[in-house]
Amino acid sequence: MNVAGIGVVFTRGRGIDSYEEALRQGWVPPCRVELSSAPDISLPVYYVAQETITDKAVLRRIRRADRFSKMAVLAAWDAVQDSGIVLEEKGSSLGIIVATAFGPHATTFRFLDDILDYGHANVSPTIFSHSVHNAAASYIAYVLGTRGPTLTLSQFAFSFHQAIILAESWLNEGRCDYVLVGGVDECHTVMEYICSQKLAIADDGKIKPFHFSASPSAVPGEGSVFFLATRTNTPKTYCEISGLFLYGDGIEEAPDMYIFDADGMAGDERGYKDAAATSVMIAGYSPVFGSMMTGSAFHCAAGALMLKHQIRYACPVQDNSCGVNLCAVTESAEIKKIWCVRINCVHEKASIRLKLE
Amino acid sequence: MEDQKEKRLADIREKLKGLLVENLSLEDVTPDEIKDDEILFGDGLGLDSLDAVEIVVLLQRNFGLEVKDMEKGREIFYSIDTLARYVYENTKNKS
Amino acid sequence: MNVVITGIGGISAAGANLVEILDTFQSGRRNGGSVSLFPTVLTYPVFEVRNIARKWHREGMRTLSLALCAVEEALGDAGLQDDLSGLRVGICLGTTVASQLNDLEFYRTYRSAGTAAIDAVDRFLKGNLAEAVARTIKVRGPAATVVNACSSGADAIGVALSWLRNGVCDIALAGGADELNLVPLCGFGSLGIVSDSLCSPFDRDRRGLNLGEGAGVVILETEAVSRERGIERVLYLSGYGSAADAYHLTAPRPDGTGLEAALRKALAEANITPRDVCFVNAHGTATRDNDKVEGTVLAGVFGPGIKFFSTKGFTGHTLGAAGALEAVFTAAALRKGWIPASIGFVHQDDEISVSPVTEKTRIHGRFAVSTSLAFGGNNAALVIACAENGGS
């Protein structure tokens, strides 16, 4: 299937142009937040600014939506706008697939606040209904006014990969003509605490995708990326996209470039070494948007931009202690195939393949 | 006596408007802009069924009132005026 | 490509396996009662599962335990309990509770002390339903957890159908599971849609739903794979339709066009007309809104004579499991040739032109439909069929 449009909401703004600008600009330091549990410890986080998700025109009809839903709705909206495709109102030709690792957990904790503060019988129905994982997908359908199949998938490492595989299936079997498929995850004070306990945090604010460390360090991020996918060619087609699980079978066909999702979120990253050992050029852009289980979606957006514009973006953090062939400068390049690779905490591997036909 | 009642009703109306704006995420509306007799649901202020159950919780938390019968709730929730009167009638012996 | 159902498994308050559940359906017994799983001031009746096989007990992961019970039964039913290696086995399961980091004790401690033991988080990370089941039964293939609120179980079966048609896997375990949990109990209570008494789907005097818990799993295969395994008597998963209301976060679209679109899509996929459908296993939650919209759509699509029922009166609303459990019950009914009474229904509602069956009823025909409606305006419909010569 083809990528016809892309929408991005991330720490440095909104829209595919902002994202491309950030890829050209390279690394900027994350904001630092004091842990509410230990104010003497500060944690680097790539938060999305409130003004980035303020858009009265798009969000006017969903006044109750929480940050999580707003990030997803704006990225999805922008993907459609970016494609230039006019969707049929009330149409069933658009499917929506939302991938998330943790869902709207900030709202879940707000609901737990209600239970603790007001008791079991006196909680807010509005907060409860927004803590349900499919609220964001429902809002996307509502804002776009489309009535096709709408689904939310939630896993840790591979939600976005599953979403891509399902989107391909839906298009192949004619269940819909277009699929809005994307990922969204948010950060929040409790998640800051969990990250500080579960992950090694990069003190210098730099995710180092090429350390291939057994205990890599992370900088938590948040945001959303959506792709408008379709089987046909459209004026703005970026590239082809397809998902693949590798089950440890290795990567049989070498691309022009690998993008590694190594961002410190899934523990041991030594598994990336296999692919790095080939002569293929390696890139990793997590330092632009932060460590996220759905970071694969951001990497696919970077890959799609590179294929469309025939350009390579320099890796934002270039610590290269293993001496791999990493992409060090931004320059025009002939690229036809990019594999985005992710390895989870039990060493399973999946890739999303981007191709220019 | 009548003055006191009016004063109390005015206080309740003001409090209700503040609660609605704050808890129902009403954007671009300030408490002052909600008219006492404005229809709350549908074409008026534009509230819906989820707001209705949220108001039930607000009445419980802020005034200790239970609205069990949502059919009756329809009349009570017509406007700020009707809501305030309901709160007044059901709390006047408590305070 | 034909996709077949070769195994089914279910667990709910009505029984720990399908034999027990069907027995409960015949007897009309309702195992609802007060909450025993956690302390609460809420007095709503609920449907709790009493017997979870000891070997599937997982501390703090009740949803997973329920799923594993149903998985074991379904695999056994499909004759697949031994060796799954060498096959690409996909796992697609729906849930609501298991997808949320909502451990109240963890959060209470964190909130008051600023720190809390992280084991609740570890349980959550290990408990992703599809991934945890895949690791438990040691299979290789796609694993996806669907979190589509109350239609999750039906949608998960729909996802697996797409996988098989597209060659993503050879066999799929699909379904849903949810435990009774304090968070949704409080949440549904606050929405004013939980009944103080045992629920009465489609009844004039219905006062809301009862929460329940359970799991339902179907084993799906391409017909070619099942034939190769020597399986002959099968059911078919003939169609799946899904449509969004694009209307409201918690209320169904009053005109029911979302549900109707899902139904028509499922029928079209199965290449049948409404007349070919011999019964509908309805979502029937017993809330005012759901039953009115659903009953009206069923009457409109299938006509006044349609035989339908809701099993929520036996199981409660099992949320992410509901669509899957009801697909399992639909499959079981096609196999057995009868549907249960829609328990809890007594009085026809003037606003709904059709009424559900009130006694155990024999069915004749090949095709049946199971419907699901969810929060966020998701609608799903599954068409299940038995072989040409009818049920066994």
Task: Pick the more confident residue, C374 or B73.
Answer: C374
The Cα of C50 is separated from the nearest Cα of chain B by a number of Å equal to 32
Q: Does B25 touch chain C (CB under 8 A)?
A: no
d(CA C369, CA A48): 45
The residue to which tokens 């594993």 are assigned: C68
pLDDT band at C140 (very low <50, low <70, confident <90, very high): confident
Closest CB from B50, B53, B60 relative to A122: B60
ipTM entry? 0.97
Average pLDDT, integer, range C272-285: 98
> What Cα–Cα distance (Å) separates residue C251 from each residue in A142, A237, C7, C24?
13, 37, 35, 32
d(CA C15, CA C30): 11
Strands C46-47 and C89-94, by their bridges, are unpaired
Q: Does C304 touch chain A (CB under 8 A)?
A: no
| Inter-chain residue contact A64 with B26, CB threshold 8 Å | no
Judge whether C193 lies within some domain: yes
pLDDT band at C390 (very low <50, low <70, confident <90, very high): very low
Q: Which helix (H) or strand (E) holds A275?
A: helix A273-276
Residues from chain A contacting residue B27 (CB–CB below 8 Å): 56, 60, 63
Q: C171: which strand partners?
A: C89, C221
Closest CB from B25, B53, B57 relative to A64: B25
- What integer pLDDT is reported at residue C109 of this predicted model? 96
Q: Is A333 exposed, middle or buried (0-12, 13-18, 19+ CB in 10 A)?
A: middle
Q: Mutate which of B25, B48, B49, B77 to disrupt the C interface (most C C-beta within 10 Å)?
A: B49
| Inter-chain residue contact A37 with C128, CB threshold 8 Å | no
Angle at Cα C78 formed by Cα C76 and Cα C80, nearest 5°? 65
Average pLDDT over all residues of chain C:
95
The Cα of A60 is separated from the nearest Cα of chain B by a number of Å equal to 8
Quick one: DSSP state of residue A106?
H
Q: Which helix (H) or strand (E) holds A355?
A: strand A349-355
Q: Which two tokens stand for residue C133?
A: 């089941």
| Inter-chain residue contact A116 with C107, CB threshold 8 Å | yes
| Inter-chain residue contact C251 with B49, CB threshold 8 Å | yes
Q: Which helix (H) or strand (E) holds A111?
A: helix A105-118
d(CA A307, CA A257): 11
Judge whether C74 lies within some domain: yes
Q: Does C250 touch chain A (CB under 8 A)?
A: yes
Residues from chain C contacting residue B49 (CB–CB below 8 Å): 248, 250-251
Residue B75 confidence (pLDDT) above 80:
yes
d(CA C173, CA A19): 39
Chains meeting B at 3+ CB pairs closer than 8 A?
A: A, C
Residues from chain C contacting residue A96 (CB–CB below 8 Å): 244
Residues from chain B contacting residue C187 (CB–CB below 8 Å): none
**Where in the sequence is the domain holding C237, given as residue range(s)?**
3-386
d(CA B44, CA B24): 15
Residue A71 · residue A184 · CB < 8 Å: yes
Which residue type occupies C142?
A: P
Q: C209: which strand partners?
A: C194
The Cα of A20 is separated from the nearest Cα of chain B by a number of Å equal to 32
| Inter-chain residue contact B23 with A118, CB threshold 8 Å | no
Q: Mutate which of C186, C188, C191, C287 to disrupt the B interface (most B C-beta within 10 Å)?
A: C191
- What integer pLDDT is reported at residue A247 of this predicted model? 58
Residue B63 confidence (pLDDT) above 90:
yes
Residues in chain A where the model's pLDDT stays below 70? 246-252
Chain A residue with Cα closest to B65 = A122
Chains meeting A at 3+ CB pairs closer than 8 A?
A: B, C
The Cα of C10 is separated from the nearest Cα of chain B by a number of Å equal to 34
The Cα of B24 is separated from the nearest Cα of chain A by a number of Å equal to 7
Lowest mean pLDDT among A239-248, B4-13, C14-23: A239-248
Q: Does A156 touch chain B (CB under 8 A)?
A: no
CA dihedral A297, A300, A301, A304 (to 10 degrees): -160
Q: Which two tokens stand for residue C14?
A: 């009505």
Q: Mutate which of B22, B25, B48, B70 to disrupt the A interface (most A C-beta within 10 Å)?
A: B25
Q: Does B1 touch chain C (CB under 8 A)?
A: no
d(CA C266, CA A92): 13
Q: Does B66 touch chain C (CB under 8 A)?
A: no
Closest CB from C96, C155, C257 relative to A132: C96
d(CA B60, CA B62): 6
Q: Which two tokens stand for residue C205?
A: 């005097």
Average pLDDT, integer, range C125-130: 93
| Inter-chain residue contact B50 with C248, CB threshold 8 Å | yes
d(CA A196, CA C380): 40
| Inter-chain residue contact A131 with C100, CB threshold 8 Å | yes
Domains plus CATH for chain A?
2-355 (3.40.47.10)
| Inter-chain residue contact B49 with C249, CB threshold 8 Å | no
Residues from chain A contacting residue B53 (CB–CB below 8 Å): 125
d(CA C21, CA A219): 50
Q: A230: which strand partners?
A: A2, A178
Size of interface A-B (CB pairs under 8 A): 28
Backbone angles phi, psi at C47, to 5 degrees: -115, 100
| Inter-chain residue contact C187 with A111, CB threshold 8 Å | yes
- What integer pLDDT is reported at residue A249 of this predicted model? 54
Average pLDDT, integer, range C281-310: 97
What's the 3-state SS for chain C? Answer: CCEEEEEEEEEECCECCHHHHHHHHHHCCCCCECCCCCCCCCCCCEECCCCCCHHHCCCCCHHHHHHHHHHHHHHHHCCCCCCCCCCEEEEEEECCHHHCCCCHHHHHHHHHHCCCCCHHHHHHHHCCHHHHHHHHCCCECCEEEECCHHHHHHHHHHHHHHHHHCCCCCEEEEEEEECCCHHHHHHHHHCCCECCCCCCCCCCCCCCECEECEEEEEEEEEHHHHHHCCCCCCEEEEEEEEEECCCCCCCCCCCCHHHHHHHHHHHHHHCCCHHHEEEEECCCCCCHHHHHHHHHHHHHHHCCCCCEECCHHHHCECHHHHHHHHHHHHHHHHHHCEECCCCCCCCCCCCCCCCCCCCCEECCCCEEEEEEEEHHHEEEEEEEEECCCCCC
Query: Which chain C residues in 264-303 lie under 8 Å from chain A, judged by CB atoms?
Result: 265
Q: Does A233 touch chain B (CB under 8 A)?
A: no
Chains meeting C at 3+ CB pairs closer than 8 A?
A: A, B
Q: Where are the domains of chain B?
A: 2-91
| Inter-chain residue contact A124 with B23, CB threshold 8 Å | yes
> Tens digits of per-residue pLDDT, C53-92?
999 999 899 999 999 999 999 999 999 977 787 789 999 9
Residues from chain C contacting residue A139 (CB–CB below 8 Å): 249
Residue C281 confidence (pLDDT) above 90:
yes
Chain A residue with Cα closest to C121 = A194
CB atoms within 10 A of CB B21: 17
Q: Mutate which of C3, C186, C317 to disrupt the A interface (most A C-beta within 10 Å)?
A: C186
Task: Pick the more confident residue, C144 or C98.
Answer: C144
Chain C residue with Cα closest to B57 = C190
Which residues, including other chains, have CB under 8 Å from residue A284's CB and lie 6 or more apart? Answer: A207, A209, A210, A259, A260, A261, A262, A263, A299, A315, A317, A326
Residues from chain C contacting residue A38 (CB–CB below 8 Å): 114-115
Q: Mutate which of A134, A139, A175 to disrupt the C interface (most C C-beta within 10 Å)?
A: A134
Size of interface A-C (CB pairs under 8 A): 206
d(CA C69, CA C58): 11
> Tens digits of per-residue pLDDT, C357-382?
999 999 999 999 999 999 999 999 99
The Cα of C306 is separated from the nearest Cα of chain A by a number of Å equal to 26
Residue C391 confidence (pLDDT) above 90:
no
Number of domains in chain C: 1
CATH number where C46 lies = 3.40.47.10
| Inter-chain residue contact B57 with A64, CB threshold 8 Å | no
The residue to which tokens 């089941």 are assigned: C133
Q: C5: which strand partners?
A: C220, C235
Lowest mean pLDDT among A239-253, C22-36, C115-129: A239-253
Report for A35-39, C227-231, C304-308: range of highest mean pLDDT: C304-308
Q: Which two tokens stand for residue A78?
A: 């922008």
Angle at Cα C173 formed by Cα C31 and Cα C13, nearest 5°? 5
Strands C46-47 and A217-218, by their bridges, are unpaired
Q: Does B24 touch chain A (CB under 8 A)?
A: yes
Question: Minimal CA–CA distance to C67: which of C199, C176, C203, C204?
Answer: C176
- What integer pLDDT is reported at residue C85 of this predicted model? 77
Judge whether C335 lies within some domain: yes
Judge whether C392 lies within some domain: no
pLDDT band at C392 (very low <50, low <70, confident <90, very high): very low
Structural class in CATH, domain B2-91: mainly alpha
User: B10: helix, coil or strand?
Assistant: helix
Q: Does A129 touch chain B (CB under 8 A)?
A: yes
Q: Does A56 touch chain B (CB under 8 A)?
A: yes
